[in-house]
Chains A and B, each alone.
Chain A
Amino acid sequence: MQRRRFMQAVTTASTAATAAAQQTPPAGEPIKIGTVSADAAAEPVSRFFTSRQLAVLRHLSRLILPASNGRPGAAEAGAAEFLDFLISVSPAPRQQLYRGGLDFVDAEAERLFAKPFPEIDEQQADKILRPLLTPWTFDPPANPRQRFLAELRADLRTATMNSKEMARATANSPRRRRGPGGAAPYWLPIDPTR
């Protein structure tokens, strides 16, 4: 037998064997295995920011978006930990903006108060943050520190509004479906090219 023919025969035989080994699902109700999300079962491992940067980010998240009106704030929503992941997979300029911004506020805390940023209080932090706040214009602020704060404010808000904790806190609100944490139609990949 020529080698090609031989290989064909072997392949055909093994295909038949695989088919024979396959099981047939039972008739009736389709089998459903319930699962929980990874977030429900485990906690994220921070991998992008240094532990110092992450501590700065956590402090910022408490200051910028505290819990209010019975709704969770950025800290309760784990926004800093989520941003550690999101920024880690983001393009380099965004990574740079975040790292630079976190290091800057930390260095300012040392310069003004001889303390790391995570240890300064609200009034002290305001001395650093207020000058970075800019009124909204169509274009993002050109100054990278101001831009950092503008993006951080928006990102913390999104991470918090879209969190599981927010969904839980607003579960009984009539505006839930369209409001924070609410559900919407999600499009799965449609016949994707492989």
Chain B
Amino acid sequence: MANQNYDVLIVGSGHSGGMAAGVLTQKGLRCLMLNAGPVVDFERDRKFKAAHELPYRGFGNPNAHLDHVYQANEFNANTWVSEKEAPYSYPPGAPYNWVRVRLVGGRSLFWARQSFRLSDYEFKAADHDGAGDNWPISHDDLAPYYSRVERQFRVTGRKEGLPQFPDGDFVSVADGSESECQKRITAEARKMEIPVSRMRAALGEGGLASSVNLSIPGALATGKLDVVQNAVVREITVDKDTGRASGVIFLDRHTRREMRARARVVVLAAGTLESTRLLLNSNIANSSGLVGRYLIDQQYGCTVIAAMPEARDGKANPALIGGGLFIPRFRNLDTKSKRNFRGGYAIPMSTGSTPDAKYFPEYGAALQKKLDSYAGACVQGGIYGEVLPRYENHVRINKEQKDAWGIPTLHIEARYGENERNLCRDAADTMEELYKAAGLEILVKSDKVNPPGYSIHELGTCRMGDDPKKSVLNKFNQSHDIKNLFVVDGSAFVTGGWQNPTMTILALSMRASEYLADELKKGNL
């Protein structure tokens, strides 16, 4: 007979679910974690191979059903969710790139580990410049949790003392010597009142900063966590008499056998859009009508590439060019930096790169000559651009389409607007101005971005707030409608900012889980 004495049932095993399991089991609660996909074995499932040994010589199977996963290649194709097995839809001409991983660990297995805090420019966006609503919490509320997450994930970074780029509890300083090119760009940026810093990133342990090594093993070691793999959750069940969440129904990924799991509290950590889909398919927790609304992400693209003339034709060397730079948000912080858009963007920049052959309208020996001439001599920048939360950008259930387990799928409607376009134009112009000032030769300038979703930072579809009419969750990621239901992934975000969201997701999940444990103890759930 099944063990039915779980305190908390967690759907999802990525960063958000792993953190919840870690905190809740430490507090002595018995947890069940259900995950749609299998456990990965790095030894068994991964082999070193040369591209020519792969069936499609590294091009990938043209029929792999990963049309919107621009990050997919033949080496990693088997790690992404197939759009055939788990389809979704979008309006004609408005594609959305929904990039999913269903393995145990979710996207924490593959994320790039760039780690930032949100600032009060984002938490209090309405007060600042109206780039979205205010969160019910501020940076100060989350700061202690950020600190603990940063220590757990071993985040490195350089402290700057900038209010728009809050410093973290960094384990070491990411610094080192600077190349001439880095120095020159930094000096010119300063003249333009643009701050220049370095990338902030989680080191994790042994090169991996994932729930599968940093949170789930500890939770398992308490003896308080059961993990079921290949459990595709279809819906959240609600007790008719009490209106409380009672558990979930899930299907075995292979056999489609239907199972019911029960617990005193349900925590959704299936990733922003899957958690939202579960709520919509279960038809619960939506008295505000806002479940699925205000989908935000970040715009990535906007490419400007320039060459350092002195480094061309084989003269590139580490003293001259090389190393990364990171420009945090600098627009719309005060009246002086205000432009014709709201919100801001960051510019991650690399120096010492060789541009892709596609940038040169040449072929044959002439192309090779160009590539040789520019080898290692280039500076490349793009943007992490803010996207404003808008009611119209939403997801809803598509009753016409079902996934391989017979579960209705999502229809995703997300478009960038005038604000996003103006932001990109400003970013491309600014990069061009900066590079030229630094004496670089502009090779490529584009203010275009990838389709919505490409950044893999989907957020906002169960926003938190104090007013149950204007939000889905309260400030502890708890459903306003169903007290024993929590959503601890990125769907709780009110604004997205330019910052990669995972540190904030982790801090929120940690905070929500501690609150949950306390409330359970007090008998409030």
Contact = CB atoms under 8 A, between A and B. Distances in A.
A30 interface: no
A153 B357 contact: yes
A186 B358 contact: no
A162 B52 contact: yes
B363 A153 contact: yes
Interface in B68-90: 74-79, 85
Given A91-B62, A136-B358, A191 B38 contact: yes
Contacts, number: 129
Given A66-B364, A68-B368, A158-B58, A185 B47 contact: yes
B521 interface: no
Interface string A175-189: 000000111111111
B189 interface: no
Interface in B216-235: 230
A173 B244 CA distance: 64
Interface in A151-194: 153-155, 157-159, 161-164, 166-167, 181-194
Contacts of A97: none
B57 A159 contact: yes
Given A153-B363, A186-B54, A190-B78, A139 B46 contact: no
B54 A86 contact: no
B303 interface: yes
A80 B156 CA distance: 47
A133 interface: yes
Contacts of A187: 45-46, 75-79
A167 B52 contact: yes
Contact of A185 (B37, B46, B51, B446): B46
A6 interface: no
Given A159-B57, A163-B52, A186 B75 contact: yes
Contacts of A192: 78
A135 B362 CA distance: 9
B362 A66 contact: no
A30 to B, nearest CB: 15
Interface residues of B, number: 49
A163 B45 contact: no
A120 to B, nearest CB: 14
A138 B50 contact: no
A90 B64 CA distance: 10
Contacts of B44: 188
Contact of A63 (B74, B301, B360, B363): B363
Interface string B251-274: 001100000000000000000000
A86 B59 contact: yes
Given A86-B62, A186-B48, A194 B368 contact: no
Contact of B40 (A133, A139, A190): A190
A133 B404 CA distance: 43
Contacts of A167: 50-52
B50 A181 contact: yes
Contacts of A114: none
Interface string A43-62: 00000000000000000000
B363 A64 contact: yes
A82 to B, nearest CB: 6
Contacts of B364: 63-66, 122
Contacts of B59: 86, 155, 158-159, 162
A33 to B, nearest CB: 17
Contact of B75 (A68, A129, A184, A189): A184
A57 B183 CA distance: 47
Contact of A193 (B49, B85, B361): B85
Contacts of B103: 190
A91 B50 contact: no
13 contacts: A39-B52, A89-B62, A136-B446, A138-B449, A153-B357, A154-B358, A157-B357, A182-B50, A183-B49, A185-B49, A186-B49, A188-B45, A190-B38
